Amino acid sequence: MSALGITIGVLALVAAFATMLLLTRGTPVKSVRSFEAGGPPAPGEAGFVPLIEALVPTHLETGHHIQLLNDGDGTFPRLLDDLRAARESILIQVYFWKSGSLSDTIGAVLAERARAGIRVLALFDDFGADIPPEYLDMLRDAGVMVAELRPVSLFELHKSQQRSHLRVVVVDRAIGYTGGFGIADEWLGNGRTRDQWRETNVRFTGPAVAQLAGSFAAGWAEATGVLLVADPASAQPADDAGDSYAGIIYTSPTTGSTPAERLIALSFAAARERLYVANAYFVPDDDFRAMLIGAAARGVDVRILVPSADTDVPIARHAARASYRQLLEGGVRIWEYGPTMMHAKTLVADGLWSLVGTLNIDNRSLALNDEVTLAALDRELGRALEETFVQDIDYSVEILASQFAKRGGWQRAKENAAVLLSRWL
């Protein structure tokens, strides 16, 4: 082989290796097992919010009213009422969007509002959405401005792993929605029946609405080249503004430590009494497992709720189960939700500090995706999330260490294989 051929071959191998590292990179903070000065303050202590604001970073302030919306039955009637009542503008971005009765209903409302002169902007991730061209044509013909984010193509391969996993609805700059919902018929129903997914979302008013609109504006600028200035500039005053202390945390991939991992680490470490985590794709790395076990060791009641075999991503469940033994032996309690797919992404610490949004505890959410989370220091929301969690475990099976140890060799093999792919999950 000629020197030129050898050089080309070496360069090709280097490029392939660099591409693999890019597409599978993990969260960069290594061995986070302790915190300076003994750890962060508890959620109820004076220094907690400034620490979150400084290290994540974000901005939290009072003046919010937050409503917890469970499942399709608790979410879409209220969402559709707000969309139909829009008088100025609608921003909507949902990662998972596909044909069905819910998509038809949402599309009809968006089209009607656009024809009525309301400014309607719809943004979707090319990988997550499966929307027929004729549907998009219908929206555009009605006056809806539609944009596609990060199209999967040869010229966009460097963005193929960085998906926009956001769920954003902003109505009249006054009302915001986020959570794990998608525009697909799986999200209809009560979350207790097969094929009616269990989901947790929030509707809120207050200053965080402008932050949510800002996360939409970031994607819109990338997709269209147009930087929105009217829509996210300021939230309009809401009639039902409350006193909840809250803010939106928008996280996206970075070269170094990610805001998402710092948010989860601080939330785990701040809990003093209870830590309830419901997560659809729960694949914590060594350090997050150590933090959960550390919380249990200091007397925190640590409970995890994850999907059962009724999941849309079986490999993620196998990877999750690979960590069960260590967590169970460390005092963490785990339940698998029984009736249907459990798709929620929530955390509540001490009944006071709450996270509701799109963030999964896996490498994809922590290191690769754009995500959005409503963070709130609100005892009413915390109590509602804890009550929902307790209700959910009534429909779940607790995983006990003695029983889990008896699982078969084939199951163990699937778990070990899934762990090898965890950087993609």
pLDDT digits (tens, 9 = 90+) for 171-221: 999 999 999 999 999 999 999 999 999 999 999 999 999 999 999 999 999
Superfamily of domain 31-424: Endonuclease Chain A (3.30.870.10)
**How far is it, in rounded angstroms, from Cα 361 to Cα 345?**
9
pTM, 2 dp: 0.90
| Residue 133, both tokens | 């061209």
In this prediction, residue 132 carries a pLDDT of 95
Computed over every residue of the chain, the mean pLDDT equals: 89
Contact criterion met (CB below 8 Å) for 291 and 271? no
Residue 21 pLDDT class (50, 70, 90 cuts):
very low
Torsion of CA 306, 340, 399, 355, to 10 degrees: 20
* Average pLDDT of the residues in 216-237: 82
**How far is it, in rounded angstroms, from Cα 247 to Cα 178?**
12
Q: Check residue 235 and give left, alpha or beta (phi > 0: left; psi -120 to 50: alpha).
A: beta
Burial 209-225 (b: 16+ CB within 10 A, else e): bbbbbbbbbbbbebbbe
Range scoring the smallest mean pLDDT among 9-18, 54-63, 327-336: 9-18
In this prediction, residue 14 carries a pLDDT of 47
Residue 147 pLDDT class (50, 70, 90 cuts):
very high
In this prediction, residue 13 carries a pLDDT of 59
Diameter over CA atoms, the chain: 76
**How far is it, in rounded angstroms, from Cα 319 to Cα 418?**
5
Residue 235 pLDDT class (50, 70, 90 cuts):
low
**How far is it, in rounded angstroms, from Cα 206 to Cα 237?**
7
Contact criterion met (CB below 8 Å) for 265 and 32? yes
Binning the chain into helix, strand and coil, the percentages to the nearest 5 are 40, 25, 35
Whether 23 has a pLDDT exceeding 90, the answer reads no
In this prediction, residue 17 carries a pLDDT of 47
Whether 376 has a pLDDT exceeding 60, the answer reads yes
Whether 348 has a pLDDT exceeding 70, the answer reads yes
**How far is it, in rounded angstroms, from Cα 246 to Cα 353?**
10
**How far is it, in rounded angstroms, from Cα 165 to Cα 94?**
7
What are 110-136's pLDDT values in tens digits?
999 999 999 999 999 988 899 999 999
In this prediction, residue 18 carries a pLDDT of 46
